[in-house]
Amino acid sequence: MPDTSRDEEAQWGPFGRPLFDDPLVRGLNKVGVVDIGSNSVRLVVFDGAARSPAYFYNEKVMCALGAGVRETGRLNPTGKKRALAAMHRFAALAESMGCGPLTAVATAAMREAEDGPVFRAQIERETGVKIHVIDGSEEARLSAQGVLLGWPGSYGMVCDIGGSSMELADIQDGKVGQRLTSPLGPLRLGGFNSQKDLKAHIKTIMQDLHAKMNYETGMRLFLVGGSWRAIARVDMERRGYPLTVLHEYRMTARQVGTTADYIASANLEALRARCSISNERMSLVPLAILVLRELVRTFRPKDIAVSAYGIREGLLYEQMPQELRDRDPLIEACRHAEAKDARIPGFGKVLYDFVLPLFPGAQWQRQRIIKAACLLHDVTWRAHPDYRDEIAFDNATRANLGGLKHSERVMLGLSLFHRYSSKRQGSRLEPLFQLLDEEQMREAEILGRAMRLGAMLWLQADEHPGVFKWRPKKRELQLSLCAHAAPLWGEVAESRFNALAKAMNAASAEVKFNPA
């Protein structure tokens, strides 16, 4: 018999066949991990069937276990009480959710404190949760894997700051390379006689890290950790940035310096309230920004990207089969959403094939945005018709999606907005459109109007309604409808076709009806 598997795979195009229903992948449902850090203890339960996992449950308790370890050599007594209570609660929650044995790791505070082993044994005895106390190198590796969960195949340096330590890891071609750890966590930067002494201490350690780290100036720097995210939130507030999603937020070296000065001169309580940062986290920001400023001065990255994924996501990545790791997190997450929420799961692939000829020069990065939009085009159908456009936009721009720049988030959202609405002027979303240039907004409108037309030509999930031809030089648009789609054509479909032609600035637009 002929082997048809290769032909079937080719039909799925560059993104491959969906994997979320594969038995190996379905086994990632309800994966529970606990991160016992120097500053916080957090439980995350992932619904990990898709490449971009959903956060089924996420809870953090600020314990400050590492506060005072530098001076006393022992864990913070109050922090131990909080952490133990949190672990009892997390173990009970995991059991009620049916997520199986928790994977728990403890980092710098637990591994460095002299009473760490005793406290670890107490938690295990009382809760039944086995705790893996990991060294700095392993902490760096897992954090870097968390970054790879969101940016497969990325390269640069990952910097993870915790309460008591700061780790560096090199990533190249989707693999974790050299790793280093340092005592530059903000909980360990108190007690200096002067700001000058503190800065000198940070600079000495940073220069030593730079000498040891095989890092080329001008590479990307990925920031992992709550203190970095808090600083990014402050940077957003200072700039009046319209999108508050932290994942993939970008900063420059100059912006870091400006924000450092901004923090130094600010009323921290007022700033904390404006940025919705906890008291415990805000108390570490003035120290953490000194570390970040020196990090940027020393390593001189080409750009700085904030990652909401870190050690906990790295633990999930550890359990993923390689075939799933290699997949595009955006496309797999959108496929999962379509399968779960669309009225005709599978039509997104048909719609993608239908609209793609309208973008003949689209490179791979643009094709994935088009693909994601087509997969998501119908997942908000339950929303009230008056609000579907804005809800579709919000879902795309604020969802937990990996591998998306902020401009790409907004472009994806705007295309889905135009899937339901012809007019964007006057929308409450207008401030976000400033993240796009005119050409991106035009492409998003064309994509949205094309999906709006395609949605009227639904047949079966695997039936194609017709074929677009677009001649850019002559600006000629032609739609050839298949015979079985002809009965679906009418005044509304014609109006949507004309609106698409207008958005494309077509000189001529024609619809052909192919005979049966």
- To which H or E segment does residue 470 belong? strand 466-471
The whole-number average pLDDT for the span 468-494 is 93
Whether 338 contacts 351, CB under 8 Å: no
pTM to 2 decimals?
0.89
pLDDT digits (tens, 9 = 90+) for 240-261: 999 999 999 999 999 999 999 9
Q: Looking up tokens 């379905």, which residue turns up?
A: 26
Total residue count of the chain as it appears in this document: 516
Q: What is the CATH number of domain 328-462?
A: 1.10.3210.10
Average pLDDT over residues 7-23: 53
Maximum Cα interatomic distance, the chain, rounded to a whole number of Å: 87
Q: Compute the mean pLDDT over every residue in the chain, rounded to the nearest whole number.
A: 90
CB 247 within 8 A of CB 146: no
Give tens-digit pLDDT for 319-352.
888 888 888 889 988 988 998 899 999 999 999 9
Return the percentage of the chain with pLDDT > 90, whole number. Answer: 73
pLDDT tens for residues 132-170? 999 999 999 999 999 999 888 889 999 999 989 999 999
First and final C-alpha spacing in the chain: 32
Class of domain 28-134: alpha beta
Q: In the predicted model, what is the mean pLDDT of residues 298-304?
A: 94
**Residue 93: predicted pLDDT:** 95
Contact by Cβ (8 Å): 504, 470: yes
Residues 6 or more apart from 89 whose CB is under 8 A from it? none
Architecture per CATH, domain 137-313, reads as 2-Layer Sandwich (3.30)
pLDDT digits (tens, 9 = 90+) for 261-293: 999 999 999 999 999 999 999 999 999 999 999
Main-chain phi, psi angles of 485, to 5 degrees: -95, -15
Instruction: pLDDT band for 129, please (50, 70, 90 cuts).
Output: very high
- CA gap 94, 89 in Å, rounded: 9
Q: Tokens 């360990």 map to which residue?
A: 188
Alpha-carbon distance of 302 to 404, in angstroms, equals 18
Within this chain, domains 28-134 and 137-313 share the same CATH topology? yes
Q: Are 19 and 88 in contact (CB under 8 A)?
A: no
Res 168: pLDDT:
97
- Please state the domain extents for the chain: 28-134, 137-313, 328-462
